[in-house]
Amino acid sequence: MYGAVEDGIIKEGGAAHSAESRFNLAEQAKFENSVEGKDLKICFFVCALCYMWPYQTLLQSQNFLDAEFPELRGEAGLIMMCCTTWPLFIWCFIITFTGLGRTMSYRFKMVFPAVLIFLVALVIIVVMAKLTKELTFLYCMYAAALIVTIGESIAEPAVYDMAGLMPSALTSQAVQAGNGACGVIVCLAQILTRLIFNGFGDIGRNELESLTYAFFVLMAFSGIVLGLVYIFRIRPSYYYQSYVEHTDAETNEQKSLAVAVTLSPDEVPGYKATMEAFGHVWPTMLAVTITFALTLVLWPVMPGLACVESPRREATDHTLQSWWLDIILLTFNVADALGKMERHSLEWGARVVTPMLQLALACLRIFIFAPILFCSSAPQSYSPASAKWVIITSVFFLGLSNGWLSTVCFMRAPKALPANTSNVVAEQASTLLVLALFCGLSVGTSLAYVLGKTVLAPHLGNCYVDL
């Protein structure tokens, strides 16, 4: 997948790179063609779907919170966004650079978050049934977001670490595909709920409450599935034992996974391993951060607030405007999922797009998409008839490029390390990319808020008027 090997040199994208891959083509082909390899790709897809579900559930709950606490409309959503983004980055940063993540066994990293997700979901379901209309419920939601992010900051890097240690980049691609699929499922659930309960009209408070209940029930279920998939499908597999645990799967000579992996400073200095990995993947980290930061700055607030129906129109039917945010969310998530699932172009990208080229493409997205979205929605310089098509098209390609470029980064980074790179450094390479992802989400969300409160405050939501 990463080029032909000739005399120890890997031919990649027309250029020769010495010792640029930890695995050869034979190992990759054997994994990808084996039944167990295909099963593992499905398992990593499911794991990503499960650890992303709590995040998507908490984001979706913003609509219900706005309806339940109209006096806090906007403020509640902002606090929820902060509770679901910045703690991810902070916790992952602490775990990564203190070496704490290296003292945890993979069983702990997968089972503890699974149990945490399940328990938090049950508590919120009970609280919703008894305290929905009280501020205590709102504070419980904030607390739930903070607690769940602890679990996700452990589980998500662990899934990427395990996927990155496998002899094929398609496991990392499967994780990204699971992330993308989760967003699409959430959007479809929201849209179907609206259609079922109120047709093309606005969704009401009771419908939003029922939908939120359903999402938290599924959140509890996702925690159970996350733990079971790891314990009964990933952990017993030959490839997990051989490439992650480095044990003989046939004789089962291994340390108990119930005990945290403790390594002396001489064997694996966590901080040193992190810095060594950083030296290899810093351009990719920067590309991932810029990619997600730009996406969160431009989406969904700016295009979601655009006027797609004339404010001077006397007709009372504003169906399209009432559905516009749902359309924007679905458009981006579908495009993002397509970018993460188109295997052939992703394999090509992982083989040809070097780290510095990834960084260049991430920066290029600023010049391609920022002018389009700013001109169409902040302030709106096009008439509604034109704006809706400009925005839909640009949001689609924003999502497509977000999914494709981020997946290429995650596919390539752990595999393109030098051939003698230790497992610990390879694990840290994947973890650093997740840290960069969390950083991009947090920075993008914060920048969107600052811009919305300052420079763009007079323009967001102000419609084009044809004089």
Q: Which domain holds residue 27?
A: 1-33
Q: What is the pLDDT of residue 313?
A: 53
Tokens standing for residue 330 = 């679905």
| Whether 220 and 191 share a structural domain | yes
365 located within any domain: yes
CATH of the domain at 90: 1.20.1250.20
Residue 285, classified by CB atoms within 10 Å of its CB into exposed (0-12), middle (13-18) or buried (19+), is buried
CB 258 within 8 A of CB 89: no
pLDDT in tens, 245-273: 876 544 444 443 333 333 333 344 567 88
pLDDT in tens, 352-406: 999 999 999 999 998 877 777 777 766 677 777 778 888 899 999 999 999 999 9
Question: How far is residue 228 CA from its own chain's centroid?
Answer: 21
| Whether 94 and 8 share a structural domain | no
Q: What is the pLDDT of residue 101?
A: 83
Per the prediction, the chain carries an average pLDDT of 83
327 located within any domain: yes
12 or 106, which is more confident?
106
| Whether 105 and 157 share a structural domain | yes
Helices (H), 34-169: 35-68, 75-97, 106-131, 135-165
262 located within any domain: no
Name residues whose C-beta falls within 8 Å of residue 37's C-beta, 6 or more positions apart in sequence.
Answer: 30, 31, 166, 168, 239
CB 400 within 8 A of CB 249: no
E strand intervals along 271-380: none
| Whether 375 and 242 share a structural domain | no
Q: What is the pLDDT of residue 41?
A: 96
444 located within any domain: yes
| Whether 386 and 467 share a structural domain | yes
74 or 438, which is more confident?
438
219 or 201, which is more confident?
219
| Whether 177 and 214 share a structural domain | yes
pTM: 0.85
**Residue 214 parent element (H or E):** helix 205-229
| Whether 370 and 246 share a structural domain | no
| Whether 44 and 106 share a structural domain | yes
Q: How many domains does the chain have?
A: 3
261 located within any domain: no
The answer to whether residue 290 scores a pLDDT higher than 50 is: yes
Across 4-9, average pLDDT: 34
144 located within any domain: yes
260 located within any domain: no
| Whether 85 and 223 share a structural domain | yes
Residue 427, classified by CB atoms within 10 Å of its CB into exposed (0-12), middle (13-18) or buried (19+), is buried
| Whether 26 and 43 share a structural domain | no
| Whether 244 and 293 share a structural domain | no
| Whether 3 and 73 share a structural domain | no
257 located within any domain: no
